[in-house]
């Protein structure tokens, strides 16, 4: 945190952000930076429907308490929260390649079943599955943005569509929670 504060003092940055810290360390980092007079504006954790518990129960409350925003990375769970894997692993997909963050063993029948059920909710809302997943991530007041990791223009256009959909209703959130378990 001292190095980040030095960068701000040197005029090389106006503020800083942190990434992938668990709640206790995020709190400590924000406090250390504040003591140095350096604004910590953002934290970047992995957060999506399949990876949510620690972010929701620990990190988001800590960030709100510290006045730090949150920008989720991997809101589409490396593509698992798209329709790409609903019929198997395409050869040209992330999980179909020999290297990368999404491995074939992570494309489990359980996750595919959940993605299919979530896709039904998305369609009932008039949205795509990625739009639902992004809207779900952005529903938190502390969530500032989501890094979508798009590789094609169509993916960006689809993701932006998440912003024009209606807010998730309590009924929809309940149905999503039931699917996710």
Question: Residues 30-66: pLDDT tens digits?
Answer: 999 999 999 999 999 999 999 999 999 999 999 999 9
Tens-digit pLDDT profile for residues 121-174: 999 999 999 999 999 999 999 999 999 988 889 989 999 999 998 999 999 999
Cβ–Cβ < 8 Å for 63, 31: no
SS3 per-residue string spanning 133-155: HHHHHHCCCCEEEEECCCCCHHH
Q: How many CB atoms lie within 10 A of CB 167?
A: 9
Residue 61 to residue 68: CA distance in whole angstroms = 10
Q: Which of 159, 113, 120 is nearest to 138 (CA)?
A: 159
Residue 4 has what DSSP assignment?
H
Q: How many CB atoms lie within 10 A of CB 119?
A: 20
Tens-digit pLDDT profile for residues 54-109: 999 999 999 999 999 999 999 999 989 999 888 888 777 777 777 777 877 788 89
Q: Which of 159, 151, 158, 160 is nearest to 100 (CA)?
A: 151
Structure tokens that stand for 70 in this block: 């949150």
Q: What is the pLDDT of residue 160?
A: 93
């Amino acid at each position: 945190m001292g190095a980040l504060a030095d960068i701000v003092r040197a005029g090389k940055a106006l503020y800083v952000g942190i990434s992938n810290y668990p709640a206790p360390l995020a709190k400590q980092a924000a406090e250390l930076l504040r003591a140095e007079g350096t604004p910590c504006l953002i934290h970047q954790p992995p957060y999506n429907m399949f990876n949510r518990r620690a972010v929701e129960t620990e990190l988001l409350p800590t960030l709100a308490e510290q006045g730090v925003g949150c920008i989720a990375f991997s809101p589409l769970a490396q593509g698992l929260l798209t329709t790409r894997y609903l019929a198997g692993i395409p050869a040209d997909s992330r999980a179909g390649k020999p290297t990368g963050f999404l491995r074939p063993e992570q494309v489990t029948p359980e996750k595919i079943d959940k993605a299919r059920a979530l896709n039904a909710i998305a369609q009932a809302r008039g949205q795509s599955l990625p739009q639902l997943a992004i809207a779900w991530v952005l529903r938190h007041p502390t969530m500032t943005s989501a890094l979508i990791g798009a590789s094609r223009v169509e993916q960006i256009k689809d993701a932006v569509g998440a912003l024009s959909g209606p807010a998730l209703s309590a009924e929809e959130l309940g149905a999503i929670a039931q699917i996710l378990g």
